[in-house]
Amino acid sequence: MSTILEPSKVTPFRQVLDPTGKVVNPDLLPDLKDEDLRELMRRMVFIRVMDQRAIKLTRQGRLGFYAPVAGQEASMIGSEYATNRDDFILPGYRDIPQLLFHGWPMYQWILFSRGHQHGSDMPKDTHFLMPQIIIGAQYVQTAGTALAFKLKGEKRVAITYTGDGGTSQGDFYEGINFAGAFHVPAVFIVQNNQFAISVPVQLQTAAETLAQKAVAAGIPGVQVDGNDILAVYAVVKEAVDRARAGGGPTLIEAVTFRFGPHTMSGDDPTRYRTKELEGEWEQKDPLVRFRSYLQAKDLWSDKDEEAAMEESKEAFNDALKKADATPKMTIPGLIDSMFEVLPDSLKAQRAEYSDKEEA
């Protein structure tokens, strides 16, 4: 029988550490100093603690919209660590950790979660958008952002994120296709956490991997163990460096799993995934794996762990205080932010709201 029509796996899978923290691919070990390795661990612990706290605060009504991140720390933190500060991130709605380490003040994230405009009024010296709610919209914007860098001759890269569900969007294809056609400095990351809310990736596509979707766009695609922070860093670093050097865009699929629910708005994972599956992924916890690796190298102690946890708690407390002290946004303020120059009709509507509300 002819095999011409048989689909085949066309993208590589990258892993550096196995789930026990043992190096299985020494050739791929990234060139990171001990201090960088410790920093990666510190950030993962910081985020794991922050996530637990955010979940509690959401239940208490002190946070608004929140999509838990536990389980995905390696793909989030490892990928962001591979970027430069002036590289531009176009995140999906779950990608809070990357933004926090790319310069988003934590209190502004809290305000964003609560639905306050100041949350996404990013500080002047930072380079990212607030989380995107439409699943594929940021992919096409990334092509445009990267084209701007290319046309201006800036050595910057646009990095974007979506999930497994996002790869079904038309904008996903349009984004990677435009980026390929214009050969722009962009890195497209898919965090495949196995479920788009409740729909498993197997129902999302007949494609064996999500990375292979790069083939149709004519750009490199690679699948990486998204729970292996060293592999994520290595793959993203290479893609970012290549993009910066004029080598064009890359699609990266980070294979991972979210331990918690989709969001804190009533999602119940027991309706769509088994305890067995959750147990399998707990064995691949990105923190456990990297901690074992560092401990074997004598680079991480219980004291370090406690310090990182404490730091996270304190940062969250300070951020909450600052967020609580921020004045509420106003209707006149909202109207003013619609245009650079307000049309007369909107000026008239603005006048319908009292000065009291403005103050």
Partner 1 sequence: MAQMTMIQAITNALDLELARDNNILVFGEDVGQNGGVFRATDGLQKKYGKDRVFDTPLAESGIAGLAVGLAMQGMRPVAEIQFFGFVFEAMDEIAGQATRMRYRTNGRFSCPLVIRSPFGGGVKTPEMHADSLEGLFLQTPGCRVVIPSNPYDAKGLLISAIRDNDPVIFLEHMKLYRSMRMEVPDEAYTVPLDKANVVREGSDLTVIAYGAMVHTALKAADELEKTKGVKAEVIDLRSINPIDIDTIVASIKKTHRAVVVQEAQRSAGVAAEVIAQINEHAIYHLEGPVLRITPPDTVYPFAMIEDEWIPTPQRVLAGLDKALSL
| β 186-192/250-255 pair status | parallel
Please report how close the Cβ of residue 139 comes to partner 1 at its closest, in angstroms.
8
Cβ proximity to partner 1: between 29 and 338 the closer is 338
Cβ proximity to partner 1: between 18 and 336 the closer is 336
Instruction: For the chain, count helices (H), then strands (E).
Output: 15, 8
Instruction: For residue 128, list its beta bridge partners.
Output: 89
Rounded Cα–Cα distance for residues 320 and 316 (Å): 6
| β 13-14/221-225 pair status | parallel
Tokens of 105: 């003040």
Tokens of 126: 């930072």
Q: What is the full DSSP assignment across 243-292? A: HHTT---EEEEEE---SS-S-TTT--GGGTS-HHHHHHHHTT-HHHHHHH
Please report how close the Cβ of residue 174 comes to partner 1 at its closest, in angstroms.
4
Please report how close the Cβ of residue 148 comes to partner 1 at its closest, in angstroms.
4
Cβ proximity to partner 1: between 105 and 261 the closer is 105
Please report how close the Cβ of residue 191 comes to partner 1 at its closest, in angstroms.
20
Please report how close the Cβ of residue 348 comes to partner 1 at its closest, in angstroms.
9
Cβ proximity to partner 1: between 14 and 156 the closer is 156
| β 158-163/88-90 pair status | parallel
Chain residues binding partner 1 by CB under 8 A are 88, 90, 117-118, 120-122, 124, 129-130, 134, 137, 139-149, 151-152, 158, 170-171, 174-175, 177-178, 181, 334, 337-341, 343-346
Q: Are 157 and 80 in contact (CB under 8 A)?
A: no
Residue with tokens 């990608």: 95
- Give the residue numbers marked as catalytic: 258, 262, 272
Cβ proximity to partner 1: between 177 and 263 the closer is 177
